[in-house]
Amino acid sequence: MPVNDAARNGTVAWAAGSGQVISSGGWDSYARVFSGGDGILYAIATNGDLFYYRDEARNGTASWSFGGAPQKIGNGWTTIRDVAYGGNGIIYAVGHDGGLYWYQDFARNGTASWAKTGAGERIGWGWNGFARILSGQDGVLYGVTPDGFLMFYRDLARDGTVNWANNGQGQQIGSGWFIAPEASDVQGYCWPLSGGPGERLSFCISARSDYTVTYLRLQTQSGAVGTPVAPPFHGATHIQGAPPEAWADGCSWQETFSLTIPDDWVSGLYSAQCVDQAGRAFDIVFAVKPGPRRADFAVLANVNTWNAYNDWGGHSHYSADGAARLSFLRPNPSTSPVDDGSLNHLTRAELWLLNWLDGNNYRADVYTDLDFHNGIPYIGEYNALILNTHPEYWSDRMRDQLDSYLANGGNLLYLGGNGLFERCTPFGDGSVEEFFGGDPSQGRDRNYFRNANPPRPERAVLGVGFLFNNYLTTSPPAPYRVTNATHRFFNGTGLANGDLIGKSGHNGPASGWEMDTSDTATAPAGQVVSAWEGNDRGAPPPGIEVLALGTNTPVDGQLVGHMTHYQHSGGGLVFSVGSLCFTGSFAVDPILQRIVANVLNECRA
């Protein structure tokens, strides 16, 4: 259906004919359809063929070139994961290999006449890190990162050669640009976010149609997202509205159903999967804590980070004007456990690690950030505490709990990036959290742990700390290079210094997206640092060993991800990988799995 925004100024003024059906169907059979300007539409078939259409009328009446018959003008487009039209026949295409390719349809009339014989010219690298690319014409491209940042690029050449504005470095011009998954007729949330045997969780649902609910234990790497642990049951249509500031105050929906955790449910991440009549699922993810019998390891689910990135209701921590408070009592579509092929740093990514632990006899109990904030009884009985993928937001009390755990001899595995970076504060029962220290107008910087009073730089405990130079758009993911092959954690790997590890993964190679460095930074006391290279604070502990370094090629600064180990004064060990991409590579890389297994075995011994 064509729509014509007659105003094009942010007011509502649609042209006559907007929303009229002008073609008789079949368009859903294409893998992708995109505009080529001037009524031209390009369609990519599932077999990779590229077809040309042109709407001659462009006024809501059905008048097509070639009588509406598609004209094949190319093939081999199955290698493309995203496309954007750049004007004048130029098409920018992102390959599954991360390359950005330039094409130009010279003819633009349904005949196959391409610049450079139709071979795509590679003019960029690392573009598979974007959730979506969009064109602004005249060589302007916008990239939307998986964590909602909008980046500006401009192809100055526009002829298939490499010539970029800003030397090809993306300029961040917005935040909060999250790409929403396909909407289901059902949405909901639960509270609390975790429970042990005999404890009760309340589920609040708004549904535009009837639906089916199935409780799943989330544990599979592919195919079905989890294993049913109870018979499905029916839910009825019931629409519940949201207050104007649901992001801060919660939805205040009525309870739809509840769950008392059975005694025989094994600790882990679970979902109340609600499937509407069209087969679209909405997963309400929660953690099941252990009963009296404990596993070997404790793993934290990063619900604070989940909440910070949730823009349901209109705001997240990353919205243009930020949000001083964010509630857990609202749906969170971004916690979907479904692997849609895009980069992921939330629930799906955490499952890559949990699944491996499950399948390799490393029994692990799962708790949420809020559980850790409130105190996990007998946490010292675990062989190690594991931080997973993206533990960015912590409370001061969580940091206190960690310091106490380590002082009493605990072991820590930090298998992520950008961890313990920024402070948040739960209120009351924990269902609402404060960010920005309560005042977004003051910006983020003052709320980083390294800017606390007194400073508590994460590098002092993790051995590594995040810098913004080490972000996806300035330093694409890459393997680590081994620098300390004789270290005991590399036993049985056959590695030598200089070898590359973590060459591929669900989020790309192992060192990437958001990376941490062990390099010492010495900003003077009282200075609020920005967490960019040269404006930072924090030194690693004495005796730290760098085991491997990312081979990333930074655009801004000289930083990469650091894999490190040290023995802390409490008697235990801290092993850090310093990369948000690590778990995605770990899930498929036997060498990384052996390294982590060596660490876990030492902790268990």
- Asked whether residue 168 is assigned to any structural domain, the reply reads yes
Q: What angle do CA 151, 155, 157 make, to 5 degrees?
A: 170
- Asked whether residue 101 is assigned to any structural domain, the reply reads yes
- Asked whether residue 601 is assigned to any structural domain, the reply reads no
Q: What is the DSSP letter of 541?
A: P
Mean pLDDT of 191-215: 97
C-alpha–C-alpha distance, residues 586 and 355, integer Å: 11
Q: What angle do CA 24, 26, 30 make, to 5 degrees?
A: 140
pTM for this predicted structure: 0.84
Tokens 């408070």, located at residue: 325
Mean pLDDT of 288-308: 96
- Asked whether residue 109 is assigned to any structural domain, the reply reads yes
Asked if 482 and 547 count as a contact pair (C-beta separation under 8 A), the reply is yes
C-alpha–C-alpha distance, residues 218 and 224, integer Å: 9
- Asked whether residue 184 is assigned to any structural domain, the reply reads no
Question: Which CATH number is 139's domain given?
Answer: 2.115.10.10
Residue 605 in this model has a pLDDT that exceeds 50: yes
Domain that holds residue 133: 27-174
Strands (E), 4-89: 32-37, 40-44, 50-54, 71-74, 80-87
pLDDT tens string 74-83 = 998 988 889 9
Residue 374 in this model has a pLDDT that exceeds 70: yes
- Structural domains of the chain, count: 1
| pLDDT at res. 1 | 47
pLDDT tens string 457-477 = 999 999 999 999 888 877 789
pLDDT tens string 139-182 = 999 998 877 888 899 999 999 999 999 888 888 888 778 776 66
Torsion of CA 290, 295, 297, 298, to 10 degrees: 10
Percent of the chain whose pLDDT exceeds 70: 94
| pLDDT at res. 473 | 78
CA distances from 44 to 47, 130, 184, 326 (A): 8, 20, 26, 41
Residue 430 has a CB neighbour count (10 Å cut-off) of 19
| pLDDT at res. 556 | 61
Which of 304, 479, 471, 328 lies closest to 395 in space, CA to CA?
Answer: 304
What is the CB-side half-sphere exposure of residue 503 using CA atoms within 13 A? Answer: 5
- Asked whether residue 35 is assigned to any structural domain, the reply reads yes
Q: What angle do CA 184, 185, 190 make, to 5 degrees?
A: 80
Residue 489 in this model has a pLDDT that exceeds 70: yes
Residue 522 in this model has a pLDDT that exceeds 50: yes
- Asked whether residue 413 is assigned to any structural domain, the reply reads no
- Asked whether residue 130 is assigned to any structural domain, the reply reads yes
Strands (E), 219-313: 226-228, 233-235, 257-260, 268-276, 281-288, 297-301
